[in-house]
Structure 1
Amino acid sequence: MYRFLLTPRWWGINVFVLLAIPFCLFMGSWQLGRFEERMDSHRTAGEQAESAKHAAARPLDALLPVDKETSGRQTTATGRYGKQLLVPDRELDETRGYYVLTLLRTDDGKALPVVRGWLPGDADPAKAPAAPKGEVTVTGALQASETPGSNGVSAAGGLPAGQTGAISAASLVNLVPYEVYDAWITLNKGDSGMKAVPAAAAQDTGLDLKAFQNLGYTGEWFVFAGFVVFMWFRLLRREVEFVRDAELGLVADADADEDPVRGEAAERTRETAAS
């Protein structure tokens, strides 16, 4: 009854099933591993952020370039405040407002973007407190340059003079006449009565949409593996039923001619009846 499994058609089906199931299981396990990596990264980032709050501040140059290990670390820098810009459409405590960003010119001639605080409402230069005069030493959480269009950072252009949509060296290089660090800091205490802006987690360390996509893909690949097994058993059962019907003479010749195995079963049935 199961001789049809040796036909070229079923050899092809069996080979496909034997290859598809391990592939689906491998891809599902890989996606699950990616989700677990993001979970571990999120957990590590949370622990790092908590420890960074109590760690001693280190000089800026000792923490550059910014990466997952140094993002959020306390740093200190000395210089003189220069050009001031506003960063509109930034929420804090579910209230819309803007950052007050001032460039701190250090002794090496480069400028460090410093978020001195947050104010509610529309960005208004008249309401933004002026930066302190003279040499100052600032302490805050180190942050990586922002990417427009991600993590709530506006990608809109055409902002009024004195405003920037993203805090990054690429965005600021055309707005200030000096070289800018590829990093920025947010002060631990808001300056001049402004609210301090909390440090953000490093990129690719949070439970964002990508993490849950990995989890969803995990389920999809395992479902595909189960579907392949289900379809193989369904085809097998259908073939066995057809062969059984052919042996009982319940299959028409037109149906039997479509498949050599089915035709052979029907032929054996006719020979048995004739004898």
Structure 2
Amino acid sequence: MYRFLLTPRWWGINVFVLLAIPFCVFMGSWQLSRFEGRVHDHRTATEQATAGGHTAARPLTRLLPVDQSTSGQRVTASGRYGEQLLVPGRELDGKRGFYVLTLLRTDSGKALPVVRGWLPGTADAAKAPAPPTGEVTVTGSLQASETPGDNGVSAEGGLPAGQTAAISSASLVNLVPYRLYDAWVTLERGDSGMKAVPASAPAGTGLDLKAFQNLGYTGEWFVFAGFVVFMWFRLLRREIEFQRDAALGLVPEEPERAAVAGG
């Protein structure tokens, strides 16, 4: 009854099934590993951003360039405050407000963007306290340059003078007359009565849409594998039923099937 499995048509079906199932399982496992990797990165980055405030502060130059291992670490830098900008549309504790961003000009000749704190309401330069004068030393959490569209960073353009949507060297280079570090610092204590902005995990380490896409693709690949098995058994059952009906003379046999049955 099962000699039809030796026909060229069924050889093709069987080879396809034997290749398709491991491929689907492999792709599903790979997507699952990517999701698990994102979960691990998110957990590590969150723990690091939280624990960074309990470690000893290190000089800025020792922690550059910013990566997943240095983001959120306590850093210290010295210099003189220069240009001040506002970063509108930033939420803190469920309230809408803005960051006060001041450029710290260091002895290296570069300026370090420093978020001195957060204030509620609409961004208004008159509300932002002036930075301290003279030589200052700041201590805070090191952060990577922001990318518009990531972690809630606005991609809005056409802001008023003195404002920026993203805290990044690429955005600030056209707004201030300094060479810039490709990083920024949020003070651990808000300056001049402002509220301190907590450190955040670096971009690409959160449980965002991409992470759950990986999980969705995992399910799809495993479903495909199950579908291939289901279709193989369905074709096998139909073939067996056809062979039985042909043996009883209920249906005319196809030439290829008749040759196999006659053997």
Aligned pairs, how many?
262
SS at match of 1:136: strand
Moved over 3 A (4+): none
Structure 2 counterpart of 1:176: 176
Structure 1 counterpart of 2:199: 199
Offset, 1:8:
1.4
**Equivalences for 1:6-25 in 2 at 5 Å?**
6-25=6-25
Find the aligned partners of 1:36 and 1:27 in 2 and give their Cα distance: 14
Find the aligned partners of 2:110 and 2:168 in 1 and give their Cα distance: 14
Deviations 1:193-214 (A, max 9, x none): 1111110112222222222222
**Equivalences for 1:76-225 in 2 at 5 Å?**
76-225=76-225
Structure 2 counterpart of 1:39: 39
Structure 2 counterpart of 1:273: none
CA contact (8 A) 2:150 2:203 kept: no
- Residue 260 of structure 1, aligned match among 256, 259, 262: 256
Offset, 1:220:
1.4
Letter in 2 for 1:235: L
SS at match of 2:180: coil
SS at match of 1:162: coil
SS at match of 1:125: coil
User: TM-score normalized by structure 1?
Assistant: 0.91
Find the aligned partners of 1:47 and 1:81 in 2 and give their Cα distance: 31
CA contact (8 A) 1:68 1:203 kept: no
Gaps of 5+ in 2: none
Deviations 1:150-207 (A, max 9, x none): 1111111111110101000000000011101100000011111111111011222222
Offset, 1:218:
1.4
Structure having the higher Rg: 1
Offset, 1:36:
1.7
User: TM-score normalized by structure 2?
Assistant: 0.96
Greater Cα offset, 197-206 or 61-70:
197-206
Letter in 1 for 2:43: R
Find the aligned partners of 1:87 and 1:51 in 2 and give their Cα distance: 26
CA contact (8 A) 2:46 2:200 kept: no
Letter in 1 for 2:201: A
Sequence identity, in percent?
78
Structure 2 counterpart of 1:235: 235
Gaps of 5+ in 1: 269-275
Find the aligned partners of 1:128 and 1:138 in 2 and give their Cα distance: 18
Find the aligned partners of 1:227 and 1:264 in 2 and give their Cα distance: 31
CA contact (8 A) 2:71 2:142 kept: yes
Offset, 1:87:
0.5
SS at match of 1:166: coil
Letter in 2 for 1:112: L
Q: CA RMSD in A?
A: 1.4
Offset, 1:260:
2.1
Letter in 2 for 1:212: F
Letter in 2 for 1:223: V
Greater Cα offset, 206-215 or 172-181:
206-215
